[in-house]
Structure 1
Amino acid sequence: MFSKFFINRPVFACVLSIIIVIAGYIGLKSSPIEEYPQLTPPQIMVQANYSGADAQTIADTIAAPLENAINGVKDMIYMQSTSSSAGSMSLSVYFKIGTDPQTATVNVSNRVTPALSLLPEEVKRVGVTVRERSSSILNVLSFYDPSGKMSDTEISNYVNINVADAIKRVPGVGDAVVIGNKDYSMRVWIKPDLLKKYSLTTTDVINSIQEQNSQYATGKIGEQPSQTSNPYVYAIKPEGRLKNVSEFENIIIKANNKGNIIKLKDVATVELGSQNYTFAGRINGATMIPMLVFLQSGANALDTADAIVKRVDELKASFPGDLTYVVGYDTTEFVKVSIDEVIKTFIEAMILVVIVMYMFLGNVRATIIPMLAVPVSILGAFGGLYAMGFSINLITLFALILAIGIVVDDAIIVIENVERILHEEPDLTVKEATIKAMGEIVAPVISIVLVLSAVFIPVSFMEGFVGVIQRQFALTLVVSVCISGLVALTLTPALCAMILRKKENPPFWFVRKFNEFFDFSTKVFTAGVAKILKHVIVSLICVGIIIFMMAELFKVVPGGLVPAEDKGSVLAITNLPPASTLSRTTEDTEFIRSIISQNPNVKNVTGLAGYDMLAGTLRENAGIMFISMIPWSQRPGEANSTAAFAAEFNKQMYMADRNSMTYFMTPPPIMGLSITGGFELFAQNLEGKNYSQIEADMQKVVAKANAHPALNMVRTTLDTNFPQYDLTLDKEKIKMMGINISDVFNTLSSTIGQYYVNDFNMLGKTFKVNIRAMSEYRDSPEDLRSLYVRSQDGKMIPLDSVVSLKRSLGPDNVDRFNAFPAAKIMGEPKPGYTSGDAIKAIEQIIKEELPTGYDIGWSGSAYQEVASTGKGAQAFVFGLIFVFLILAAQYERWLMPLAVVTAVPFSVFGSLLFTWGRGLSNDVYFQIGLLLLIGLAAKNAILIVEFAMQEHLAGKTIKEAAINAARMRFRPIVMTSLAFTLGVLPMVVATGAGAASRHALGTGVIGGMIAASTIAIFFVPLFFYILESFNLWLDKKRAKITSGEEHA
């Protein structure tokens, strides 16, 4: 016998377990720590700029050609682009989870390159970038000068030059991005009236800058081959690019042979300014520049965050003036507190399990054995995690918490059987009793390990969002269960032989009373089983009722992806009326900050005016605020949660007399999967409607959606009411006057718009030279009369004589989804409803309200939820099939495994009942709990069926075997089930960070386990009785047929 070797050699058993613990410790110290495994689809971003162009033009001339080229790239799931009147186009291509980002980047680049020839020349000159976008924001560092002496441009460039590069070199950092595009720029502010005075155009200025601010290579004097033998070689170093404002001011624009020279400073003001002026950051009221730090894939989030703060603190010593920083937004706070809470739950579970073991075992020695065996399985699992490339995250830690109750079961089964044999056969020594006990239970222990492992075998092959979660959860449990099985067959029997004694001190009175109560319960249970076996038909009707109720509960329990969490922060998105200036947006964000800062639960408020987070572009009438809350322990209770905070201030902002709209919302439960919590979708128009028509259709959807009881804050990002002007050329007049049309547009783009000329070098970096008219020449449509173009005969023609402007309305940003014009719709479920309810509701409303020609494209977390539909059921069915096949192979019977599998519906019923009663959803956590319950319910059934089969083979009738097995296995079943249930209880009643996820998983599991250990155990003997009787009837019939054939 396998275990006998270790009983006789206990040191060998201890050494084996010590090796497992050491391997686990190494894995624990080496594995990365993060909130979740990689659950976000790889995102490749394509960006281009077309300064001065409107959103529709950018969408038509840049986004559409690039989308057509990229569409269908390998492993792509969807793509979405946003074109902005700020002159930018951002195209995001999303790939299947698990796709190598570097390969995806190469594939997208290969598609983009041939399409570049279709883009406008100005776009090609500036360039198109293709890069991987990290979706895992680690933190936001806010740099500010409380004295106000440093401007935002100075802060931005100091941080960009001296801090960002240093942060990028910190191990674990994927990228560090300074927000706001405040890079230094040599700004050439043109004065059109002076250009006219000297008969110059902006094209003359641009050509002069490009000519005199260029880098040239001139060669070497005396370099071989040479006809003379020069002793030296001299390199010629030209002046190269210009370096400062003075040099740019002295660029010669025009000169003649009379010595008349017109320089750039004669027709323009030159200054070292900012690349962008449409963004303003604030933290707690002070001017601020934010830097987003992204986590590198596979890096340890907690160690990286600490290393970042340490590095910035080192750099802070050399910060100029009063420049300082704060961590305005830190995702690792939630990770740290969540992991601390999980560890707390882990300890609580261990304590409760130990109490249960002592109550049942009745002596300290027996209780010590599981306490020594369980840590081996749990610690050893970390070695398995490291070997499989898994991180230490909430999913794997949840699996280990649940594993406590499972792995202790194996130890309890061994100890309980040894103690029973010592009690029934007092003549045996402890060692002999242990050997005999192991002979009886090796098969059940192996069966339990195989069953629990088999449940999760199909899950390890699943792909996508659900596949990643279920794979990490499942394989973590499988590793711990396999180690537990090994420990139960090696260390536990060795410890039993070493530690247990034939005679122990009498247990405490409360243990004795508990055992008396349990003996009485055993009698009641046995009588109940006997009655069920007596009334088979009635019992089967009861089973049918339970199965029917289970099916009905599946219909009423709403669907979902993952539960919303209190992440310790809130997002506030504000939108002012179209065409509002940055100063108005800044004032509005400051007004909001002043109100919310009075809330005692608020720690920091970081505001970004001029940034539209939903569209991912700069927009002067949009803003966002990151509101960091005080720690969870200082704001207990639902009334102080982030959800309650968001609801309260949404109500306040709605009631306030303001000319803007502000939405407070919680972050998504999984960062990087969506921009905000709730759902996102795109209504694609397939019939070529313009955006004004699309918006009109969307408003119908939004109006009806906001009246729906399950939906909240439904809105569309499409707004076609931005004031703009339509430009019309008088082409006949232009040609008659000898004007080039390109000169007209060049003049407009370099005066009304911002024209990128070339680059200059400063502080070891490369910055842009931009030309634009001074503000007084572009403040109103009438300013066109101050702009001139030169005809072919040299005359200066006023621009307003050949062009006209007509006021109109149009979009500031336009979206496209999967190569079609689209409108983004966003929203949240109302309190009491789940994301699954919200998705069903908005889908139905869209079908009812939108005319034909529209299609729905889900994105973000909604895409993953819709794509995951049915995968949980698929995993459940295959898990059940694998359990059946494993048992069939072990028993060498097809019918008997059904007696084990029939315990599963009872646990599913209990899981659904508890989940529904608590108002939770059928989400990913619930589904992995169901998979676990298959194994747990089967484990209990195996203990009864295995023993009943042995009793029947020993000569007892089928009914006697079933009743006797139920009586004999009632104590270990209740003992292990109670240990597991109390081990899960801390998850069910958890509070603080990450509590919602623990509730979602723990509630279903504890409900299923209670049903399996209080209802299913009454009916498992019944199914054994029915199936074994049927099997016996089949055997007799086969024997009769065989006998008849032999007689013939």
Structure 2
Amino acid sequence: MAQFFIHRPIFAWVIALVIMLAGILTLSNMPIAQYPTIAPPTVTISATYPGASAETVENTVTQIIEQQMNGLDGLRYISSNSAGNGSASIALNFEQGVDPDIAQVQVQNKLQSATALLPEDVQRQGVRVTKSGASFLQVLAFYSPDGSMSANDIKDYVNSNISEPLSRVAGVGEVQVFGGSYAMRIWLDPAKMASLQVTPSDIATAIRTQNAQVAVGQLGGAPAIEGQVLNATVTAQSLLQTPEQFSNIFLKNTASGAQVRLGDVARVELGADNYQFDSKFNGKPAGGVAIKLATGANALDTAQAVEERLKLLRPNYPQGMVDQLAFDTTPFIELSIKSVVKTLIEAIILVFLVMFLFLQNWRATIIPTMAVPVVVLGTFAVINMFGFSINTLTMFAMVLAIGLLVDDAIVVVENVERVMVEEHLDPVAATEKSMKQISGALIGITSVLSAVFVPMAFFGGTTGVIYRQFSVTLVTAMVLSLIVALTFTPALCATMLKQHDPNKPESNGLFARFFRWFNRSFDKLSVKYQGGVNRMTHSKIFSGIIYGAVLVVIVLLFQKLPSSFLPDEDQGVVMTLVQLPPNASLERTDKVISTMTNYFLENEKEHVESVFSVAGFSFTGVGQNAGLAFIKLKDWSERTSPESQIGAIIQRGMALNMIVKDASYIMPLQLPAMPELGVSAGFNLQLKDASGQGHEKLTMARNIILGEAAKDPRLAGVRPNGQEDTPQYRVIVDHAQAGALGVSIAEINSTMGMAWGGSYINDFIDRGRVKKVYVQGEAGSRMMPEDLDQWYVRNNRGEMVPFSAFATGEWTYGSPRLERYNGVSSMNIQGTPAPGVSSGDAMVAMEEIIAKLPDMGLQGFDYEWTGLSLEERESGDQAPFLYALSLLIVFLCLAALYESWSIPFSVLLVVPLGIVGALFLTFSGMVLFQNPNLSNNIYFQVAIIAVIGLSAKNAILIVEFAKELQEKGEDLFEATLHAAKMRLRPIIMTTLAFGFGVLPLALSSGAGAGSQHSVGYGVLGGVISSTLLGIFFIPVFYVWIRSIFKYKPKQQNHQEHVS
């Protein structure tokens, strides 16, 4: 192949240009993302039972739906929660690779059989099925800077005119609005109702009857009589529109003949349909819209589409209302990708400088450099065919590939230069001879290096998706590198290199003097190196002791290095959870959040841009005593000092727990590395009541775990991701007494539900939009237990009977939020590692605590990791198998390459020398810089695989040459020493090129630095140790193996091989 392109250089150029053109065209169409679609598909079922308690919702809604979800294809786990505000949410998590659209259809089909079993009020509210995760892509704040619009006006406009257009944007899975639209609110006065003998049921019936849309028909509708000339639509009663119209609804006539209308017994107003949330932006009343990403959608594309839709909506905003991005994950994605691109460019420059240092010829340096754009662009064209995006993982793979992809071209150029100098041939002849010498070696080395990364592509699950991105990208780059080295590089050598003139006087320029000094120094180093190798190969015991020590250090460092799934990143947002004591009012929660907002806007004003808060909502559950805030930090470029980093801001924010006495806790948190798998960084587990011991025992077990976790120095912020049990007032109806009084139990339930919980009756028209009508007791008639006595029901004799005649009450405790996991009651516990501790060590600490429960008399409780923690645990279990499989594939490739079962061992024995460096530098960085992101995570595992390949490549360069010299008749020791000396320069050159290529990763800062450090430290440490130790031990291992498995000359078989 090479011979053809040496004489057809234009053909080679055309192929290279076509590859680059394909890459350029591909780049313009490839999607950009932080990660590929890693998170398993999630389908969420949402239902509402107005006025129901958490226990009622769980028993009548959640469990009914759960029981129908059996038999779904690829279902991984199911989690659910039932809240005291009547809402139920069931999240079904599927295996990686399941089509989310098919999963959603299957869930909807299963739901059909459950719908008929649900309470009527739930069916009327509707049951929704969405394919979105739990975390938010963006949160938009709508507010009035000049205060000209009220909070209700803003929230109504957002509900009526913003939420629906945004929900139709491609990629949006769900839109959640913090605050309701306008609703017709009918506030009942129990005293007036009792005096006029009107019940809530009377009012509901009257509204349904008199606020209805009636379809009458037509005048002259077909079939008509002969000669009919008129056709007109007939209209009658329609939906009411104003509070005055509702106040005029007729209820009854009194005994004296007077008419009783709704306005006589109730106050009617245009209010909000939801009073659960109070959202603010920088302390100003605001409406909030949270956007959740649809499963599998691209975050950047979706965010851009949302912005385009907002541009169309903004001209129609009311005077005085503006929008602001209060929370956005996409700037971090964009900056992290830009950071990796910058790293890639830096790597190319550094590799160029290293090549120039060793090749010492501008032409010779430019030739392998020209391979870079061809291979990089060609790789993008190929991975696009696999459906890959431009993301952090593929770009990391590109950075790793930079040092590897120039290796083949360097070998070609260096060998051509050597032949030209030693044999005084012209460039064409020298290139022809050189390619005959090294083409086989190039193919062999590339095959082995590619084989190292191939096993990663066949792993399943979430971890497999990450591995596959690295594997396919790296293998593609190396195969294209080989193709370029066999086609394009020889053509460039034949046309660009100049013939060596031995009589040409030496230049005395700056570069020439430096290169002469460098060459002399390197030659001296080579002589000393050869002497060191000679001593090492003859000192088997000394070499064995050092190698044994290396193996011991590897084992110790693997044990000491903490594990995690992905490094946490500074994503420019601090999410803060707020929890007040049980039964705290929304007003108290709002005051606490205001104090917290003022703290961040004043004390952290140099680092904080804005604060968006919601009282009444949190990821721990919906309730008046819960709150949530998104603190948006300033750009990373403005936060370069240590005190401006997100970890320092969070640590200072923890002081709010000492300042604000009314809060149970205020918990500032980092966002998770992968938003689709959780809402905050740290660990996440479900404590399960596997034996059905009940809520009290489960709570006791949870509290013991929380108490023990608070004492453990490895843990921080361990908390229940839910709400504490709260006092609840239980109404006890004496059925016998009610029956004796002639009172219907259905009437009692209906009255309590409408008076205390509120009831959705039907709809009305407000400015052309359909909105809801609610009936509920006036606030003053439902504040205290004794207020129940203000309410009356009508018996079967038409008499008004007070509740005190048949009902009593008592205070009990109950949970405002009940959880289930895989069909059993559970409680979610979350937490973060202490500073300097990895998530893996924190998970081990939690497992140790839970294992003590039986010793405390609490048997029958189990736990399961979920979300990001589940992925971390599964990825850790796969890593040893991945390493072993990669080594096995390398061994088999080497055996085929050398036609020997023994020689591959001399290559594989070198691998630990690279791994020890990767472990040592990563562990040292973690300890010295207190950087918990330097752990045994997915990126570090990829770095280890890269180090395996690099170590094997260095060994192959010496082993193959030593084997050739030995086959030519040289003594084992002489052949080994000769090979080591001859291959030292290319090993140092290619290793430095690779090392400097990854150096920008280790030195990176800003967005995405955590993941770059994980890869950079591991690879850089492996490069250093595999070179410094490997160049001495590779000859030793070759001598060991060849001494154990005696070499047998094959001259006698030469003719057979030719035949």
TM range (shorter): over 0.9
CA distance in 1, matches of 2:852, 2:459: 35
Q: Deviations over 1:189-219 (max 9, x none)?
A: 1122222222221111111222222333333
Does 2:458 match 1:461?
Answer: yes
Q: Deviations over 1:883-917 (max 9, x none)?
A: 22222223332222222222212111111111111
Find the partner of 2:993 among 967, 971, 979: 979
Matches for 1:123-522 after TM superposition, within 5 Å: 123-134=122-133, 137-170=136-169, 172-175=170-173, 177-226=175-224, 228-255=226-253, 260-295=258-293, 301-302=299-300, 304-426=302-424, 428-503=425-500, 506=507, 507-522=511-526
Residue 628 of structure 2: SS of its match in structure 1? Answer: strand
Using the TM superposition, give the Cα deviation of residue 966 of structure 1 relative to its aligned residue in structure 2, in angstroms: 1.4
Residue 392 of structure 1: SS of its match in structure 2? Answer: coil
Find the partner of 2:610 among 605, 614, 617: 605
For the Cα contact (< 8 Å) 1:712–1:830, is it kept in 2?
yes
For the Cα contact (< 8 Å) 2:179–2:288, is it kept in 1?
no
Using the TM superposition, give the Cα deviation of residue 982 of structure 1 relative to its aligned residue in structure 2, in angstroms: 0.8
Q: Deviations over 1:466-506 (max 9, x none)?
A: 11111111111111111111111111111111111124874
Change (3 A) 1:412 1:947: same
Using the TM superposition, give the Cα deviation of residue 316 of structure 1 relative to its aligned residue in structure 2, in angstroms: 2.4
Using the TM superposition, give the Cα deviation of residue 953 of structure 1 relative to its aligned residue in structure 2, in angstroms: 2.4
For the Cα contact (< 8 Å) 1:142–1:283, is it kept in 2?
yes
Does 2:888 match 1:881?
Answer: yes
Residue 987 of structure 1: SS of its match in structure 2? Answer: helix
Deviates more, 1:56-65 or 1:736-745: 56-65
CA distance in 2, matches of 1:251, 1:657: 49
Matches for 1:832-843 after TM superposition, within 5 Å: 832-843=836-847
For the Cα contact (< 8 Å) 1:589–1:607, is it kept in 2?
no
For the Cα contact (< 8 Å) 1:407–1:480, is it kept in 2?
yes
Q: Which amino acid aligns with 1:407?
A: L
For the Cα contact (< 8 Å) 1:82–1:89, is it kept in 2?
yes
Does 2:952 match 1:952?
Answer: no
Q: Deviations over 1:296-326 (max 9, x none)?
A: 5665544543453354245323321210111
Using the TM superposition, give the Cα deviation of residue 745 of structure 1 relative to its aligned residue in structure 2, in angstroms: 0.7
Residue 317 of structure 1: SS of its match in structure 2? Answer: helix
Aligned to 1:935: 949
CA distance in 2, matches of 1:747, 1:883: 76
Q: Deviations over 1:671-697 (max 9, x none)?
A: 121111111111111233332332222
CA distance in 1, matches of 2:561, 2:861: 30
Q: Structure 2 regions of 5+ residues with no counterpart?
A: 927-933, 1054-1059
Using the TM superposition, give the Cα deviation of residue 829 of structure 1 relative to its aligned residue in structure 2, in angstroms: 0.4
Deviates more, 1:305-314 or 1:560-569: 305-314
Using the TM superposition, give the Cα deviation of residue 576 of structure 1 relative to its aligned residue in structure 2, in angstroms: 1.2
Using the TM superposition, give the Cα deviation of residue 708 of structure 1 relative to its aligned residue in structure 2, in angstroms: 0.6
Residue 756 of structure 2: SS of its match in structure 1? Answer: coil
Q: Which amino acid aligns with 1:609?
A: V
Aligned to 1:32: 31
Q: Which amino acid aligns with 2:493?
A: C
Using the TM superposition, give the Cα deviation of residue 720 of structure 1 relative to its aligned residue in structure 2, in angstroms: 4.2
CA distance in 2, matches of 1:881, 1:362: 39
Does 2:630 match 1:630?
Answer: no
CA distance in 2, matches of 1:132, 1:245: 39
Q: Which amino acid aligns with 2:605?
A: P
Residue 728 of structure 1: SS of its match in structure 2? Answer: strand
Matches for 1:5-16 after TM superposition, within 5 Å: 5-16=4-15
For the Cα contact (< 8 Å) 1:944–1:965, is it kept in 2?
yes
For the Cα contact (< 8 Å) 2:593–2:615, is it kept in 1?
no
For the Cα contact (< 8 Å) 2:33–2:390, is it kept in 1?
yes
Deviates more, 1:101-110 or 1:972-981: 101-110
Aligned to 1:557: 561
Find the partner of 2:619 among 594, 614, 617: 614
Change (3 A) 1:99 1:214: same
Aligned to 2:930: none
TM-score by length of 1: 0.95
CA distance in 2, matches of 1:516, 1:457: 41
Q: Deviations over 1:764-800 (max 9, x none)?
A: 5432211101111111111112111010111110012
CA distance in 2, matches of 1:385, 1:401: 15
CA distance in 1, matches of 2:549, 2:709: 38
Using the TM superposition, give the Cα deviation of residue 385 of structure 1 relative to its aligned residue in structure 2, in angstroms: 2.3
Using the TM superposition, give the Cα deviation of residue 604 of structure 1 relative to its aligned residue in structure 2, in angstroms: 3.1
Does 2:864 match 1:857?
Answer: yes
Residue 612 of structure 2: SS of its match in structure 1? Answer: strand
Q: Which amino acid aligns with 1:885?
A: L
Aligned to 1:1020: 1034
Change (3 A) 1:493 1:297: farther
Q: Which amino acid aligns with 1:563?
A: P
Over the aligned positions, Cα root-mean-square deviation in angstroms equals 2.2
Q: Which amino acid aligns with 2:579?
A: N
Aligned to 1:804: 808
Using the TM superposition, give the Cα deviation of residue 47 of structure 1 relative to its aligned residue in structure 2, in angstroms: 1.2
CA distance in 1, matches of 2:251, 2:662: 50
Aligned to 1:96: 95
Aligned to 1:1046: none
TM-score by length of 2: 0.94
Residue 876 of structure 1: SS of its match in structure 2? Answer: helix
Using the TM superposition, give the Cα deviation of residue 89 of structure 1 relative to its aligned residue in structure 2, in angstroms: 1.1
Find the partner of 2:774 among 770, 776, 782: 770
CA distance in 2, matches of 1:93, 1:300: 21
For the Cα contact (< 8 Å) 1:71–1:818, is it kept in 2?
no
Find the partner of 1:672 among 668, 676, 681: 676
Residue 52 of structure 1: SS of its match in structure 2? Answer: coil
Q: Which amino acid aligns with 1:454?
A: A
For the Cα contact (< 8 Å) 1:160–1:178, is it kept in 2?
no
Using the TM superposition, give the Cα deviation of residue 856 of structure 1 relative to its aligned residue in structure 2, in angstroms: 0.3
Equivalent residue pairs, number: 1035
For the Cα contact (< 8 Å) 2:421–2:500, is it kept in 1?
no
For the Cα contact (< 8 Å) 1:418–1:434, is it kept in 2?
yes
CA distance in 1, matches of 2:577, 2:216: 55
Using the TM superposition, give the Cα deviation of residue 266 of structure 1 relative to its aligned residue in structure 2, in angstroms: 2.1
For the Cα contact (< 8 Å) 1:143–1:155, is it kept in 2?
yes
Change (3 A) 1:707 1:938: same
CA distance in 1, matches of 2:382, 2:1033: 37
Deviates more, 1:937-946 or 1:161-170: 161-170
CA distance in 2, matches of 1:659, 1:157: 30
CA distance in 1, matches of 2:611, 2:106: 37
Deviates more, 1:885-894 or 1:982-991: 885-894
Deviates more, 1:994-1003 or 1:628-637: 628-637
Change (3 A) 1:61 1:168: closer
Residue 913 of structure 2: SS of its match in structure 1? Answer: helix
Q: Which amino acid aligns with 1:246?
A: E
Using the TM superposition, give the Cα deviation of residue 1024 of structure 1 relative to its aligned residue in structure 2, in angstroms: 2.5
CA distance in 1, matches of 2:691, 2:294: 42
Aligned to 2:826: 822
Aligned to 1:1044: none
Find the partner of 2:908 among 892, 897, 901: 901
Aligned to 1:1043: none
Change (3 A) 1:695 1:299: closer
Q: Which amino acid aligns with 1:954?
A: K
Q: Deviations over 1:160-208 (max 9, x none)?
A: 33333443455x5424624224122221111222222222211111112
Aligned to 2:1024: 1010
